[in-house]
Chain A
Amino acid sequence: MTARITPRNAAVVALLIILALVPVYCALTGGTFALSLFTRIVIFALAAVALNLVMGFGGMVSFGHAAFLGLGGYTVGILAKEGVGSGFVQWPLALLVSALFALGVGALSLRTRGVYFIMITLAFAQMAYYVASGLDRYGGDDGLTIYHRSTFAGVIDLSNKTQFYYLCLALLIAAVYLVSRLVNSRFGLVIQGARSNERRMRALGFPTFRYKLTCFVISGVLCGLAGVLLANHTDFISPAIMHWTRSGDLIVMAVLGGMGTVMGPVIGAVTLLLLEEGLSRVTEYWPIILGPLILLVVLFARGGIDGVLARPGRG
């Protein structure tokens, strides 16, 4: 396969270079704000990539993916509060919790389809939200401050902003690579086949339910990982991270960038969060611009930003 220089490839490469150079820029200018912002962006990009796996490739519109952010984050937060600070315990456990939740939710939700699937995933996320609100020992509605980031026995120091940023970026790239390999594998083709015509896939002898459930679990685990990173980034976790509008944000990122493409969600997350940041400097009332902007993308830019970049030049 020869890589041609298209606007899309150029944009992706430029984006990756920019992401890789953010700490350098911060080191040169001495500010850490951009680093913190981009850490957040990279983490949300990871969550959007996870959501895109089920939504873009699997056609399963989950309106409850913020629950996984919360599960990952809360596992870290609760263990930290109980004195278990080692990332070697926290992280695998957080991923396990996310996987189990995804397995349970997926097994029940995948019996429905269409808008019912949207709503049932939302319902499960709401349940997780209320469980977190009720955890009085862990801050309840007010949330829980995490006093120590996960420790990795000297392998990597998460309190070092640059090291943490590169860890997040590495995990994001690994996730994107995983998704790109996955969707082009036999497994991925079955998933995409089930999206376009599930009955036909079943007639061909594929147990689509099991494939979709596996896909949902993988996505949940990746999103849980984003939650783990987010908790470590903000040193704080609260039920607000699982609010349904957060799930909406993730959907916006995936669709804005271009659903069902490997890099789309990354582009979407970068665009949305930078846009929020930029607009909030222009006006205090920035959502009044962002809202209609999202609407315009829905109405006129099908395929998102990636779709616009991939479109052959007109004329």
Chain B
Amino acid sequence: MLYFIEQCLNGVQLGMLLFLLAAGLTLVFGIMDLVNLAHGSLYMIGAYFAATFAALTGSFVLAAVLALIATLVVGMAVEVIVMRRLYGRDHLDHVLGTFGLILFFNELVRLIWGPAGMTLPLPAEMLTAVQVLPGIYYPVYRLVIIVVTLAVAAALYLFIMRTRIGMLIRAGASNREMVGALGVNIKLLYTLVFGLGAALAGFAGLMQAPILTVQIGMGENILILAFVVIIIGGIGSIRGAFVASVFVGIVDTIGRAFLPDLLRTVLNENAAATLGPSLSSMLIYMLMAAVLVFRPEGLFPASRR
């Protein structure tokens, strides 16, 4: 039972991280109708920036802030130089163009930081574990991830729903021509939204960096997970992305933790050992395929006409 609660917390933590990635992805997708495969590259770049700044400044928090700003700038630059030209194109063009960007960014990182990975050390006070429930100790840093991401999610919600820029973003999502016709600088708005998405991805990268190593291609597999999230949640829906992130995070973590044992009760040892890991990796893709077959627009489709 204790193990189960711990795994649930791990699932929530993964879900929070996925939400950071998925939120940017779904914003860009929902508002600019852009499929951005290079989102994972921004995640990677955020992590590299954070590791570099941490080595320079010696402060984790300062490094995080600097890395966020740097990723925001990179994101906006990418939007101005490349993405802007892809709006209104076929989704296939997006897939292809941003696929080219992935190649470019991976190589650029190899050129600048070298092929070896980096580590982002945590400050000492985050290395301990706290007692979250009687008898359950949980690493402080993972709790920090959960809390900080929840705060970001809340801030994002307020930003989108309660501010003027947020209102324009929502308006741009439902009818971009009309917003443009009303005299809003839609180009600038798009650059801002893309930068915001990039910063969120970079944030996810730098938060994950201390747990995993910072390495080239680190964004590629998690990017696919983030796509699963936004497809399940419904494209363009932040709320859907949030629910689906937590759902996917928990299903993935719990599946990995318990499915092999569960299989052992119905199958023989050998078959379970073979089947367990693959089946638990496949779980979320099966989930997504099932959702798409029964709800082709995702669970919380953003209303559009």
Contacts and interface: CB of A to CB of B under 8 A. Distances in A.
B118 interface: no
Interface residues of B, number: 48
30 contacts: A55-B92, A61-B91, A111-B293, A111-B296, A112-B296, A114-B91, A115-B91, A119-B292, A123-B228, A123-B292, A124-B285, A130-B278, A130-B281, A130-B285, A133-B278, A134-B275, A134-B276, A134-B279, A136-B273, A136-B274, A137-B274, A245-B102, A251-B92, A252-B100, A288-B107, A291-B103, A292-B104, A294-B97, A294-B99, A298-B100
Contacts of A137: 274
A287 interface: yes
Contact of B288 (A113, A114, A119, A255): A119
Contacts of A134: 274-279, 281
A108 interface: yes
A294 B107 contact: no
B259 to A, nearest CB: 12
Contacts of A115: 29, 35, 91, 235
A248 B275 contact: no
Interface string B2-44: 0000000000000000000000000001000001010000000
Interface string B267-287: 000000111111101100110
Contacts of A120: 231, 288-289, 292
Contacts of B89: 298
Chain B at the A interface: mostly helix, strand, loop or mixed?
helix
Contacts of A288: 103-104, 107-108, 111
A34 interface: no
Interface string A234-264: 0000000000110010011001000100000
Given A115-B35, A285-B111, A251 B96 contact: yes
Interface string A38-68: 0000000000000000010000010100000
A252 B99 contact: yes
A127 interface: yes
Interface string A269-311: 0000000000000000111101111110011000000000000
B292 A116 contact: yes
Interface in A190-248: 244-245, 248
B220 interface: yes
B174 interface: no
B100 A292 contact: yes
B107 A245 contact: no
Nearest to A61: B92
B227 interface: yes
A224 to B, nearest CB: 20
Contacts of A122: 224, 227
Interface centre among A108, A118, A298 (most CB of B within 10 A): A298
Interface centre among A248, A294, A295 (most CB of B within 10 A): A295
Contacts of B273: 136
A294 B103 contact: yes
A133 B92 CA distance: 28
Interface string B97-123: 101111111111011000000000000
Q: Which 9 A-B pairs have the closest CB atoms?
A: A134-B278, A291-B104, A294-B100, A291-B103, A288-B107, A130-B281, A287-B103, A295-B100, A298-B97
Contacts of B164: none
Nearest to B274: A136
B35 A285 contact: no
A136 B278 CA distance: 10
Given A259-B92, A288-B103, 10 more contacts: A61-B92, A108-B289, A133-B278, A134-B276, A244-B220, A248-B95, A255-B96, A287-B106, A294-B99, A299-B85
